[in-house]
Structure 1
């Protein structure tokens, strides 16, 4: 699917109720973790870290932290035992991040809001953004990549879909049923999550809309590369984009940029 429509997502709206946003993020974290969505990109990320000599990952737009613990375990098992990941977000979720930190060696988080378009110089590490790059319209997406180039730190963009029409069909059929079935098992337990799923089903309804819009807003690999080259007109980074597939079918779309030889890397 080449079509890209930048429709609105409810979770992006500043007035959107925090309790509904948190319920949606909890569901997304649970599904990404349970399905191992980002397991196929671990070798790509590991290679980028080795290329840049970095062991610390700075995750932007982390949401509820879905899949991060699995990626970190994969990096450590893949030959980088000193790997660390720091979660950041414009809307920090320390309530969701603290249990992950307690259960995952090497996982940390920044409690203050972090703007992915202008990351504070004190927050160092190889930048990643999982399941969130599509939230940025082209000008902002380009600015996000340009900030990484300006600060000479590598960056990886990963979206947990391949942008296919079948994924839209799943988002309105199978996944809502799965959400109703798994919600009682999502931790930490919250009565508000049950109330807004089964009594007033705002969480599943908004999840269906945002899930479909996320796919429509995704940048395919060729558009990711075009954004990267506009963000890096001097060619200070080496860029690659594409898709990797799970053994059981689903795809992950990615863009990775690392400084070219001799350009230097911020640790």
Structure 2
């Protein structure tokens, strides 16, 4: 799919009710974690940590932290036994994050205050990563996000849990909404509001269908990702690579990774 449209997503709107946003994020966290969406990119992330000398992944735009535990486990299996992850977002989700932090005994922590991915506070260090959220940024903002990582001299990985194919859009309209209706009662932590706005007033599934469809249409291709990286790093301070990694059962992850050129062997 080469089409790329700049449509809006409900979760990006400042006035969008937080209870609906949280319900949508809970669904994404459950699905990404259950399916192990980002397991295929663990070697890339592990290499980024090794090349930059970091042991912590600084996750930007973390949402509800979906898949983070899977990523941590995979990282530790790929030569990073001391790896930790710090979750950050412009719209923090401390309730969801606290649950993850407890389960991982603090290996996955979080910053409770809002963090702008375009201007990350210098005290928040680590190899930067953004999962399933880079498409939210229009080109100028996406370039600024990458430029901020270059300016800070830290590595960065951009990962989207799709290959941008029409079949993925079809799944977003058919199979995934049914899965959401069937699985919602099993999300943890339990929230009564999630049931109300899924079954009685189905705002969560309807907004999820819209946002999921728009996410695919807004995704950058691998060539566009490299173009943004080169525009953000005109002096070539970083080494960049972009591509797709396929999960063993079929789905793809689109990625862009970059780290300081001085780390190249």
TM-score range, shorter chain: over 0.9
Q: In structure 2, what is the Cα distance between the partners aligned to 1:77 and 1:103?
A: 18
Residues 16-66 of structure 1: CA distance to partner in whole angstroms, max 9, x if unpaired? 000000000000000000000000000111111111111111000000000
Q: Give 2:143's aligned residue.
A: 142
Instruction: Provide the secondary structure at the position in 2 that maps to 1:15.
Output: coil
Q: In structure 2, what is the Cα distance between the partners aligned to 1:22 and 1:97?
A: 12
Q: Give 1:38's aligned residue.
A: 38
Q: In structure 1, what is the Cα distance between the partners aligned to 2:197 and 2:263?
A: 53
Confirm or deny that 1:200 pairs with 2:213. no
Q: Give 1:236's aligned residue.
A: 237
Q: In structure 1, what is the Cα distance between the partners aligned to 2:54 and 2:192?
A: 41
Q: Structure 1 residue runs of 4+, over 6 Å off?
A: none
Q: In structure 2, what is the Cα distance between the partners aligned to 1:73 and 1:65?
A: 14
Q: Give 2:249's aligned residue.
A: 248
Confirm or deny that 1:189 pairs with 2:190. yes
Q: Give 1:26's aligned residue.
A: 26
Q: In structure 1, what is the Cα distance between the partners aligned to 2:174 and 2:74?
A: 31
Quote the offset at 1:262 in angstroms: 6.5
Residues 149-205 of structure 1: CA distance to partner in whole angstroms, max 9, x if unpaired? 001000000000000000000000000000000000001111100010000100000
Residues 184-236 of structure 1: CA distance to partner in whole angstroms, max 9, x if unpaired? 00011111000100001000000000000000000010000000000000000
Q: Give 2:60's aligned residue.
A: 60
Unaligned ranges ≥5, structure 1: none
Confirm or deny that 1:115 pairs with 2:103. no
Q: In structure 2, what is the Cα distance between the partners aligned to 1:122 and 1:243?
A: 32
Aligned alpha-carbon RMSD (Å): 0.9
Confirm or deny that 1:16 pairs with 2:16. yes
Q: In structure 1, what is the Cα distance between the partners aligned to 2:156 and 2:79?
A: 20
Q: Give 1:162's aligned residue.
A: 163
Q: In structure 1, what is the Cα distance between the partners aligned to 2:153 and 2:263?
A: 11
Confirm or deny that 1:222 pairs with 2:223. yes
Quote the offset at 1:256 in angstroms: 0.1
Q: Give 2:210's aligned residue.
A: 209
Tell me if the contact between 2:241 and 2:256 (Cα under 8 Å) persists in the aligned partners: yes
Instruction: Provide the secondary structure at the position in 2 that maps to 1:261.
Output: helix
Tell me if the contact between 2:36 and 2:70 (Cα under 8 Å) persists in the aligned partners: yes
Q: In structure 1, what is the Cα distance between the partners aligned to 2:3 and 2:150?
A: 28
> Normalising by the residue count of structure 2, what TM-score does the alignment of the two structures yield?
0.98
Q: In structure 2, what is the Cα distance between the partners aligned to 1:129 and 1:96?
A: 18
Q: Which shifted more, 35-44 or 48-57?
A: 48-57
> Normalising by the residue count of structure 1, what TM-score does the alignment of the two structures yield?
0.97
Confirm or deny that 1:77 pairs with 2:77. yes
Residues 81-138 of structure 1: CA distance to partner in whole angstroms, max 9, x if unpaired? 1111000000000000001001114111000000000000110000000000000000
Instruction: Provide the secondary structure at the position in 1 that maps to 2:4.
Output: coil
Q: Which shifted more, 121-130 or 74-83?
A: 74-83
Unaligned ranges ≥5, structure 2: none
Instruction: Provide the secondary structure at the position in 1 that maps to 2:179.
Output: helix
Tell me if the contact between 2:52 and 2:263 (Cα under 8 Å) persists in the aligned partners: no
Q: In structure 2, what is the Cα distance between the partners aligned to 1:151 and 1:127?
A: 10
Q: Give 2:131's aligned residue.
A: 130
